[in-house]
Chain A
Amino acid sequence: EAQVTQNPRYLITVTGKKLTVTCSQNMNHEYMSWYRQDPGLGLRQIYYSMNVEVTDKGDVPEGYKVSRKEKRNFPLILESPSPNQTSLYFCASSLGGALGGRADTQYFGPGTRLTVL
């Protein structure tokens, strides 16, 4: 089954404790992206990757890191989480290719609900 998976689905942590949220897709997609969803703000892009070893900032990258060492995986790293990073996080992937695959449909993971105390 074609899918995007995220782990963990739920996480409660404390301020300053480093954490990683994993994302994996099995569709051989080139483009991957992380979003956060907050009430009344919709989805905002954190980081994206157009291919292996190619990553760039989205609209709200502060406090986050990513890496793309393999095509299928795109982990989101919070080096020192703070309470304002409490949110619902989504990973997404799409086929990619020329012009970043602008017409492509993005496929979303199930989400990770993060609470930072």
Chain B
Amino acid sequence: AQSVAQPEDQVNVAEGNPLTVKCTYSVSGNPYLFWYVQYPNRGLQFLLKYITGDNLVKGSYGFEAEFNKSQTSFHLKKPSALVSDSALYFCAVRDIWVAGNTPLVFGKGTRLSVIA
């Protein structure tokens, strides 16, 4: 079965500092990996995804994530955090090789708080 773990419920970072939101996954085959962000009272917005190719994926709003197959991780990063980045972040995975339709499995979310 596929699963996603976001080990930190809350991440606090000072504005201007680099930020990392951690994600590890488990699939039987190879993964498709996604990051979404949820602002208060809003739906989820797509940030970036890894399908294949370059392990470093660049996405919206200056975010990037690195796919690490040996560590089964897909951590979200940004070189310089903004107060407006404060939100709830979700990592999600889909197994490429499972037969039939497979749902997008989400982690429990990590709340990022950027302090001015």
Q: Which residues of A contact B (CB under 8 A)?
A: 4, 33, 35, 40-45, 48, 50, 56, 58-59, 90, 92, 100, 102-103, 105-111
Give bound CA distance, A40 to B101, whole Å: 26
Give bound CA distance, A5 to B41, whole Å: 14
Give bound CA distance, A113 to B107, whole Å: 20
Q: Would you give 18 A-B contacts (Cβ < 8 Å), ordered by A? A: A33-B104, A35-B106, A41-B108, A42-B106, A42-B109, A56-B101, A58-B103, A90-B44, A92-B44, A100-B100, A100-B102, A102-B32, A102-B102, A105-B34, A106-B46, A108-B45, A109-B43, A111-B42
| B-side interface residues, number (CB < 8 Å) | 23
Q: How many A-B residue pairs have CB under 8 A?
A: 54
Give bound CA distance, A42 to B42, whole Å: 15
* Chain B contacts for A59, CB-based, 8 A: 103
* Chain B contacts for A100, CB-based, 8 A: 100-102
Secondary structure at chain B's binding surface: helix, strand, loop or mixed?
loop
Q: Say how far B46's CB is from chain A's closest CB, in angstroms.
A: 5
Q: Say how far A48's CB is from chain B's closest CB, in angstroms.
A: 7
Query: What 10 A-B pairs are tightest by C-beta distance, nearest first?
Result: A108-B43, A100-B101, A42-B108, A43-B106, A108-B44, A45-B103, A42-B106, A110-B43, A103-B51, A105-B46
| A102 in contact with B94 given A40-B108, A109-B43, A111-B43 (CB within 8 Å) | yes
